[in-house]
Structure 1
């Protein structure tokens, strides 16, 4: 690690240690998870037409798979040949490709997650605008624009705006975390700011979706009647479906925030102060772990897991509502075991009335 503190790893032609075991495990887990996720998405598409949200999820999984294949084989090759990324090519092409891929896929992944959050926000909070403006064609166009913008921005270090350098043990290349030139510092600020803005916007959209879903659930409970009971059942299924999307998107967002926020913070700090290389390496490891986590999150949280959680929540809420209603009608049936203790347990009296506690 001391080697990296004086910058010698930036030009080191051979490896300075490390083990290929971790890289091999991460590569295998990433490929397996993304392939299984794509298979599940294809099976779901054959059963019913793909929605815009499923198109975005497929794009995200495909992006993660492409990112895994772009960098992990290079690391394994470097260990096999005992050469650093700089030493594997005379014109630093391998190092440049590695740094470009890391920057490009980190931005694309978060941009797609943001678009998924915006899609859910429009679907729940602004359904008229969603039906009028949003479509699968809109999704394909937006994804293409995301790829184009991120590709152009990630290529600017090849033209002197920003810089890709090698990190110890010689198997990493990424943006210069401790730049000295002004143009490189500006590039890092723009890159970190883009990530931070997308993270904040994604979190705000998800929070808005949660708020609107709670309003929908309360509205459905407030307008129950014998005539609307069947409609309410359909509405409940609709809310459950939205919750499935929200749970998946929320966990993916949390995973990406955990993986990318340390990098954002480190980039900002290193603009003004040279920090130890250990913090830089941890941040880079977290960024590279995100494409591995995303597909497994999708596999684990695919229906029926979120649906079972939602059904459990609905049953719990319904039971509490029934209990409160009975308590308001028959307050004498409930008494505290410890007088004056508001937090004490409640004793239930068997009244013989069907549906009441204790019957």
Structure 2
């Protein structure tokens, strides 16, 4: 008998049919200090990052950079709201020790928190994939993207990501999966089970997250290789290339942090439901803490890894030089040799070749004109 059948037989609300408060299970990983520290660290960090992004958006004249800043703004807003909603509920429970069944007899509050956990969990991963797609088009297919594309289209893409994540979060309310109170009673999440619709929703959540990370990795890898190939010369377009390098560095760090923080939880969920093993709550709580670090570390990527900040940290570097790549000539030469020898012209040769032809200035044109008599 599945969870819904058991709930109807016992006249018990669905969210309490598997676990019913109060709980005596209280492992160290479920301590109130974790939720409090994460919330205190994450909320100011995301707020600071949002302020920095708004100022940078107002100053930028680059269309591609403004698109990227819109995606980053959506990511920061999502992380901030995720910490605010879930953190306030969890901290309130630890502070008051309220009984969920008395406070929420019809599971509305539990369903809301479960949807929030799913929505704010998938949004950063989906946004990371959307940012990778945007950078892939901007770097590898620059002529495929119209120069007159309005910024509103980028905002629509962010809204579309939120809509997709919201639709997935609403699936348990339609019968595909179910939200349940989780031990030690401070939070609600979908039922991780190998039976029926709970198996389907568990796989949807884990596979969507893993596919988003995979898409980000593949597209970012191609974009980085292409950027290395075209970001070699010292010409007039090097300033815009610096912005491309800066954005790619930030995007790669976002991808790496998301992979490190989320892959353990996503793999754990998929492995548990596919193997039919009993859910180990201590590991679920542990990997959930790992995933929460993603919302804390994301804003610091843009706060710290900017040219304006790096100029202050490393003032001895000649930041007036034409390219970020020229700061490390041996590394740049090695990467160029590797990419040229291994890939040749197979990766976007037409677009890259045209870009190189239009950007490279002939040596003769670099000579100073003779002095006028």
Q: Identify the TM-score tier after normalising by the shorter chain.
A: 0.7 to 0.9
Structure 1 partner of 2:292: 288
Structure 2 partner of 1:269: 271
1:116 is aligned to 2:160: no
Structure 2 partner of 1:61: 76
Q: Given the superposition, is the C-alpha separation of residues 62 and 111 from structure 1 closer, same or farther in structure 2, using an over 3 Å criterion?
A: same
Map 1:32-47 to 2 at 5 A: 32-47=44-59
Structure 1 partner of 2:146: 131
Report deviation, 1:198.
0.9
| Superposed CA offset, 1:125-155 (max 9, x none) | 0000123585422211112222222212211
- Structure 1 window deviating more from structure 2 (245-254 vs 310-319): it is 310-319
- Structure 1 window deviating more from structure 2 (293-302 vs 308-317): it is 308-317
Structure 1 partner of 2:21: 12
1:93 is aligned to 2:97: no
Q: Is the 8 A contact 1:102 1:288 kept in 2?
A: no
Map 1:287-326 to 2 at 5 A: 287-305=291-309, 313-317=325-329
Distance between the aligned counterparts of 2:91 and 2:225, measured in 1?
Answer: 46
Q: Given the superposition, is the C-alpha separation of residues 21 and 118 from structure 1 closer, same or farther in structure 2, using an over 3 Å criterion?
A: same
1:207 is aligned to 2:211: no
Report deviation, 1:176.
1.4
Q: Is the 8 A contact 1:243 1:306 kept in 2?
A: no
Q: Is the 8 A contact 2:304 2:310 kept in 1?
A: no
Distance between the aligned counterparts of 2:332 and 2:95, measured in 1?
Answer: 61
Structure 2 partner of 1:161: 176
- Matched residue of 1:129: which SS? coil
Structure 2 partner of 1:216: 230
| Superposed CA offset, 1:168-201 (max 9, x none) | 2211221212x14311101111221111111100
Measured on the aligned residues, the alpha-carbon RMSD in Å equals 2.6
Q: Where does structure 2 lack aligned partners over 5 or more consecutive residues? A: 1-15, 334-373
TM-score by length of 2: 0.74
Structure 2 partner of 1:252: 254
Q: Is the 8 A contact 2:38 2:292 kept in 1?
A: no
Report deviation, 1:306.
5.9
Q: Is the 8 A contact 1:16 1:169 kept in 2?
A: yes
- Matched residue of 2:237: which SS? helix
Paired residues in the alignment total: 302
Distance between the aligned counterparts of 1:30 and 1:15, measured in 2?
Answer: 29
- Structure 1 window deviating more from structure 2 (53-62 vs 310-319): it is 310-319
Q: Rg larger in 1 or in 2?
A: 1
| Superposed CA offset, 1:303-352 (max 9, x none) | 3346769967513317997xxxxxxxxxxxxxxxxxxxxxxxxxxxxxxx
